[in-house]
Structure 1
């Protein structure tokens, strides 16, 4: 039984994984990270599942990492910080390597880790009003564990436009950055998702899984060494004075000390 996500499954083997922490704009905390990881691993091994749709309830797709969760990690023991960073990295890796096609249904804003979750979808479709941003540096953090997936999705040159500045950008720019495949009106979103699902239901499931594995092998995705490096980078940021000041300023509703 999960509390932060819910699943819908139809007779065709299409499973929709709904982020359901709407009161927190689907921000990722320890429980949600754990539940997504466990569920996506199970779905990946379930031979009756053909396609996974990653969707979200409420106004936001995913606001990124829950700042209370991050703040708690800053004061935790070193081994606890490392374990939290590893859990986030493993969730992203589980989504990225899921042998089923993963289709992102982006009905609202996605920031930070939300952009990372879109980046590990095989394809994602958004509505025109959705806004995006890698907003970590504004808080004294960095997009560490999501970085291999964001850069693989956008390419380094395009990622540089938005990776460090915390600048927000719209859905059309998200298409230009290759984060989103296309933009459709809200009332057309479910139809567009169904159009992405339908071709997979004519394909051999094992062949789809093997083809996806080939993409990972040939694109040299995030390996264990790179994953360890991003975990270390996130832990170091959590330990930094800038991160402490940035998150404290957020909760105090004041500008951080570096803001001009």
Structure 2
């Protein structure tokens, strides 16, 4: 199954009981709202698909994994309602990933920024390469990683999340991300797919009911996210309207 247009691409393929979901966008695999919504719908559909036991989430190309929110779309936000709607897209996706009945394996081939780090944090197990540096640069454009913060903090702890956020001009290495728990394993780029497929194959041989019960345990204590992430989206949606943010976004685009 493949969906593609100017707002990015989304393709799902199947290997036995493994679903492989690949998203892409010409701008470093960034997310306009339509692509966010399509990915959320796909995760929800796969959660209900009894023929699927494991999901692999990946992005296209060999460079960036995900550069977060679409700057072009952020610049088009004209009021708080539009801002809330856009950032709620990330809230819906993170909630879909944590509520999904299936274990989600992240395949991270390159750098991730902002919302991309949030998506990685919402995966249950993540393979990455030494080129997979990460950064939370939201403060530099006048907003903050408010929507994704619960997912990031849950994965690497509040202290490491704070370090990433306040030093948002710095890239954190893939090795740093591995040590903090954002990544589960590092492997050379040429071995990434083989490692991911081998692990997914092993997981898919396990009792689906046991995997489902394990998924629920992994995400215990996150029930407040059903409302919390949207409260955070409202904060970001308001901040994105500031003159500081509009100016910073234009500078970043240049």
TM-score (normalised: structure 2): 0.92
SS of the counterpart of 2:107?
strand
- 5+ residue gaps, structure 1, are 254-260
Tell me which residue corresponds to 2:13. Answer: 8
Measured in 1, the distance between the counterparts of 2:214 and 2:175 equals 29
Cα drift, residue 145 of structure 1? 1.0
SS of the counterpart of 2:163?
coil
Tell me which residue corresponds to 2:41. Answer: 38
Tell me which residue corresponds to 1:118. Answer: 120
Q: Is the 8 A contact 1:148 1:222 kept in 2?
A: no
Which sits farther off after the overlay, 227-236 or 98-107? Answer: 227-236
Cα drift, residue 223 of structure 1? 2.5
SS of the counterpart of 1:162?
helix
Q: Is the 8 A contact 1:112 1:143 kept in 2?
A: yes
TM-score (normalised: structure 1): 0.90
Cα drift, residue 96 of structure 1? 2.2
2:193 to 180, 190, 194: 190
For the pair 1:165 / 2:170, whether they are aligned, the reply is no
Tell me which residue corresponds to 2:211. Answer: 208
1:64 to 44, 68, 75: 68
Q: Is the 8 A contact 2:69 2:115 kept in 1?
A: yes
Measured in 1, the distance between the counterparts of 2:191 and 2:95 equals 30
Measured in 1, the distance between the counterparts of 2:138 and 2:80 equals 21
Alignment size in residue pairs: 247
For the pair 1:17 / 2:28, whether they are aligned, the reply is no
Measured in 1, the distance between the counterparts of 2:45 and 2:222 equals 24
Tell me which residue corresponds to 1:81. Answer: 83
Cα drift, residue 224 of structure 1? 2.6
Cα drift, residue 29 of structure 1? 0.3
Tell me which residue corresponds to 1:258. Answer: none
Q: Which runs of 4+ in 1 moved over 6 A?
A: none
Give a deviation string over 1:9-63, Cα, whole Å, max 9, x none.
11x2111111122x21110001211110111100010000111001111121101
Tell me which residue corresponds to 2:55. Answer: 52
Give a deviation string over 1:50-87, Cα, whole Å, max 9, x none.
110011111211011110111112x2x43222222222
Counterparts of residues 231-246 of structure 1 (less than 5 Å):
231-246=233-248
Measured in 1, the distance between the counterparts of 2:60 and 2:22 equals 6
Root-mean-square deviation (CA, aligned residues, Å) is 1.5
Q: Is the 8 A contact 1:111 1:132 kept in 2?
A: yes
Structure ranking higher on relative contact order (CA contacts 8 Å, 6+ apart) = 2
Q: Is the 8 A contact 1:131 1:170 kept in 2?
A: yes
Q: Is the 8 A contact 1:51 1:197 kept in 2?
A: yes
